[in-house]
Amino acid sequence: MNIILTLVKKDLALFVRNRFFLMITMLTLVAYILVYYLMPADAEQRFKIGIYPADISSTIEQELAARDMDITYFDDESALLAAVEASTYRVGIVLPRSVADTMTSGADTTVTAYYPPGIPADLNQAFNDLLSMIFNQISYAAEDHPINIVRHEETLGYDLAGKSLAPRDRMLPMFAVLLFMMETLALANLIAEEIERGTIRALLMSPLSLNTLFASKAITGIGLGLVQAVVLMLLTGKLGIHPFLILTLLLLGALLVTGISFLIASVARDMMSVISWGSLVIIVLGIPSVSIMFPGTISNWVELIPSFYLVDGLHRIVNFSAGWADMSQHLLILLVVGMGMLVLGTSVLRSKLR
């Protein structure tokens, strides 16, 4: 029995010593717990809709509430549209103020539905049919005849899900991100090998400072990633859409992956460990590309991954001609996260080299 306990302790010590599998185990456990608590606690999630005007008839209100719809009323139509465009509500409904009288008289009733961007067209169509059914049911209850509903639908912002795009245009932002990912592995492997061989320590014996060394590595990583991404956008004919905006976005994307490269190099010892850690990073950074290729398949939690702002930004610029004002938030987040990653990576490397 003592021999078995000794072997178990030895195996556990070896497991803990392998930082890659230890980190994967801990992160997986934490991720599953977070996903559990982030998911809805209720068996059925109510459908959030906004309605203008606020003083609609009680009959319409009761019919909508009976179908598990969480209704918010607006006194200002522009406020409703802004909330829907920000995806606060699944749909915004604008009704004429005389809708109750119109329905009872049998006249045409105009119903305008506004949808947030990124919702598949078939889901919007299903909700349009539901609205028609609700209003016809109200009309039958009041006058025993159907009404002619004049429906208007509009997607606010960029219709990321509804616009028909060629597969290659949807995949282009993903190609750029994949290029950056490969540069992440290349730079991390370069730094890890120089640390393992003692090249960096030998360089530090000269008047070369750590800050200068890190600056040269950062310039190398940013330059390699940026040049390849620019060549990709240039040869595909997309760089001319918004050249300075695309260059700025790619520059910040290169900054982000360079910081991640420094972090990988700080925990990796050789090429195999770089590949192990890098594979995990590539999987995580590649998740936002799925939401571009298959709109509506991933919820808003994907915005927690910093590469989302790179791939989504390129998608909006290249395929929807988004401008500086539209991309201001994307650029700011990439700048802050990229600088944070770079500072964190250099700090960990600095402590490792001392």
pLDDT of the residue at 205: 78
pLDDT of the residue at 336: 94
Does 266 share its domain with 185?
yes
CB within 8 A of 88, min separation 6: which ones? 48, 50
Where a domain ends, among 108, 132, 155?
155
Cβ atoms within 10 Å, residue 187: 25
Does 151 share its domain with 292?
no
pLDDT of the residue at 252: 93
Does 228 share its domain with 336?
yes
Does 203 share its domain with 70?
no
CA 179 distance to own-chain centroid:
19
Residues 255 and 343: their CA atoms lie apart, in Å, by 11
pLDDT of the residue at 169: 78
Whether residue 7 lies inside any domain: the answer is: no
Whether residue 180 lies inside any domain: the answer is: yes
Residues 17 and 225: their CA atoms lie apart, in Å, by 33
Whether residue 4 lies inside any domain: the answer is: no
Tell which residue, 151, 213, 126, 159, has the closest CA to residue 321: 159
Does 326 share its domain with 185?
yes
Does 190 share its domain with 258?
yes
Which structural domain range is residue 109 located in? 47-155
pLDDT of the residue at 104: 57
Residues 294 and 188: their CA atoms lie apart, in Å, by 31
Whether residue 29 lies inside any domain: the answer is: no
Residue 151: CA count within 13 A, CB half-sphere: 16
Does 57 share its domain with 182?
no
Q: What is the DSSP secondary-structure string of 32-97?
A: HHHHHHHS-SSSS--EEEEEESS---HHHHHHHHTTTEEEEE-S-HHHHHHHHHTTSSSEEEE--T
Where a domain ends, among 127, 155, 183?
155
Does 311 share its domain with 180?
yes
pLDDT of the residue at 39: 62
Does 212 share its domain with 246?
yes
Whether residue 138 lies inside any domain: the answer is: yes
pLDDT of the residue at 339: 92
Name the phi and psi angles at 51, rounded to 5: -130, 135
CB 235 within 8 A of CB 316: no
pLDDT of the residue at 316: 86
Does 130 share its domain with 275?
no
Residues facing 164 on adjacent strands: none
Where a domain ends, among 155, 186, 207?
155
Mean pLDDT per 10-residue segment, the chain (354 residues): 63 65 70 67 66 70 71 80 76 72 61 73 69 70 57 57 67 82 81 78 76 82 85 85 91 90 82 80 83 68 86 86 86 93 86 76
Whether residue 257 lies inside any domain: the answer is: yes
The domain tally of the chain equals 2
Output the domain CATH number for residue 148: 3.40.1710.10
Strands annotated E in the chain: 47-52, 69-73, 91-94, 109-115, 149-155
CB 270 within 8 A of CB 196: yes
Does 348 share its domain with 221?
yes
Whether residue 26 lies inside any domain: the answer is: no
Tell which residue, 128, 134, 160, 165, has the closest CA to residue 147: 134
Whether residue 12 lies inside any domain: the answer is: no
Does 230 share its domain with 325?
yes
